[in-house]
Amino acid sequence: MAGLGYIGGADHFNVPQSIGRGGRIAIDRDQLVNRPNEIPNRSMTDKLVHEYLNNFNYHYYCTYPPAFLREYAEWWNITSSGRPVSMTFTALLLQIPSLAVQFVGEETRREIEYELGESVQILTEKYNAAADKLSREIGPGQGGLRHVEQLFLSACWLKAEARFVESWHALGKTIREAQEQGLHQDQEEGPGSVAVTEWHSALRRRMWCILYVWDWYMAGWLGRPAMIDHAKAHDHQVDTDMLTLSASSTDPDPFHHIYLQYKLVQAVSRHYAKYNSTLNPSALVELQRIFDDWQDKLPPYLKLESEESSLVVDTTHHKFILSQRLQLHACVSVMRLNPLKAYLVNPITTTSTGEETQLRESAVTYTLALLSTSQSLFNLGVDAKDHLVAFCLFDTGAVACSAIMHGVAKAVGREDELRDAIDTTLVRLSGLSHISKPAAKSYRVLARLVRRLPPPSASASASGSHGTPVAAAGKKIKTQAAASSNSSSPPPAPSSLGSSILPAAAYTQSRSPDTWPSASDDNNSHDTFLLPWVVPNDLVVQPRDDEDNTGAEPPPSLSWTIQHDNEHQLTNLDYGGFEQLWNWQDLNLDPYSGLPTLP
């Protein structure tokens, strides 16, 4: 039957499934005679593998270090003896450095570029292209679990490069390969089945959990169909004790945060299926209870607000806990806020029900929580190329602007909190703008939206206005966290971004509200002005002398040149890849933007 294209199992004939599915686990038969030239020398490859395992791998924990390192050592032994090596593992070994150099710190970046003589951007593209070329030589179902892993990491690479639609397609390819190998089903013993160790089964289940979660996330963010039937998907029971790295029962499992998201997505997807994906206010209230119950059951070390969160585990030896905790809550908060955005981007009506009022208040609360979590990720120094940081700051900041413009924030009594959070968000995005193209583009757009915010006293009237834009006014941007808001010195830069992202002058408040542009400035298409919270062009940090900037974009201009209305529609701007995730129309801001109403 496999020769006719059927996947294993008796599902197609609706008969009892007594035939084992283990036959789809392929033993690597692919052979590669020579080591690819793209793989550097042993010492450098060791360094890149170490960077990957101790940094990016903790995002998803799709590579189990003990097993990988055993194969890695064997691969080098085979290579040094001149024997052919596995094509599948070699493709993975090329993909791993492509991600490692995407997320290296400044000091390591300099070392790598000095030794290899190329910029990390050129290196990451070269490694990814070589891995992709080799991967295409592997037939469906022939590469084993390592091939699924490499395909998933390829999708991660595209996501980090802000190529989101390509990443979604790559994720789909990964899911189809995983299904071809039967990862979506537990192995059954039976005639003709291949013996699979419990340890290997646990690895397969874990990989499927990752794909299950990220299929749901990517479909939601991109507005595209899911490739897995989440409501009917097989419920994998993952033994979280099977693959621990230590015999100590108190050590946290680096994969556990993914498994928790897997269980949550299962519950949420079944709730959507129950209402045919159309959630009325009552269904939305019920959905929020699902999130609340899940959050209440989190282990203490993964809770954001818990006295035990920093005491249960030793974060000195388990540094991944801090970033995993924040990444977990950021992803879940995006999922939680998405169905409630309609209550933030539309004016309040007199016919609002009690449930709608409750949902509106909850939406503002979740918006503030997500902005806070995103800013904490930034402060922690999480990699600038992690799309989650810049996207959450930008998308949630834009939604918060809409909530203020429509009077929602004022109605629930939290407008000042939202304005403060937006101010801080702009500073965070400005700090990322010279090292992340999406952050640079989103910073410009969000700054423009903030400039359109009505003054606090005018919010209520603005929510019912459909005429000319309200004069730009408001509070000065806060340039530091609340704990140090009275100081004029710049906030400390996170370690992964270096200490010179922005000069001290960039954080000063030299422009007073009296010098801010008014709405009438829009009538002069030739005037150029600086936003009150924008760094003047002559203060923008210039590229490093040792950096290869051939073909790269210049640092973003942090001033805004007024253009004619028909020339600066937000739909026509380059968002550096975020346009695939973000839709201007979703904010319902045409009447407030000063732009022509969009079709």
Q: How far is C-alpha 170 from the geometric centre of its chain's CA atoms? A: 16
**Can you give the residue ranges of every domain in the chain?**
20-222, 279-542+554-593
- What pLDDT, in 10s, does the model give residues 231-264? 776 666 665 555 554 444 557 889 999 999 999 9
Is residue 100 very low, low, confident or very high in pLDDT (cuts 50, 70, 90)?
Answer: very high
What's the pLDDT tens digit per position in 566-575?
334 555 555 5
Amino acid 495: pLDDT: 34
Q: Return the pLDDT at 222.
A: 83
pLDDT tens readout for residues 499-554: 333 332 333 333 223 333 333 333 333 333 333 333 333 333 334 444 444 444 44
Say which amino acid occupies 423. Answer: D
What are the Cα distances from residue 361, in Å, to 337, 352, 420? 12, 12, 18
Q: What is the pLDDT of residue 451?
A: 86
Q: Residue 158: CB partners within 8 Å, gap ≥ 6?
A: 164, 166, 167, 170
Residue 172 has pLDDT above 90, yes or no: yes
Please tell me the pTM assigned to this model.
0.76
> pLDDT for 282-304, tens place per residue?
999 999 999 999 999 999 999 98
pLDDT of the residue at 379: 83
What average pLDDT score do residues 299-318 get?
65
pLDDT over threshold 80, residue 12:
no
The gap between the terminal CA atoms of the chain, to the nearest Å, is 52
Residue 16: its pLDDT value, please? Answer: 37
The whole-number pLDDT of residue 597 equals 37
Whether 441 and 565 have beta carbons less than 8 Å apart is answered as: no
| Residues 332, 439: Cα–Cα separation, whole Å | 21
Q: What would the mean pLDDT of 182-200 be, rounded to a whole number?
A: 66
Q: Output the six-digit token pair for 146.
A: 């390592």
R_g over Cα of the chain: 26
- pLDDT score recorded for residue 452: 83
Report residue 521: phi and psi, to 5°.
-60, -25
Q: Flag whether pLDDT at 325 surpasses 60.
A: yes
Q: Amino acid identity of 455?
A: P
Residue the block writes with tokens 């005639």:
191
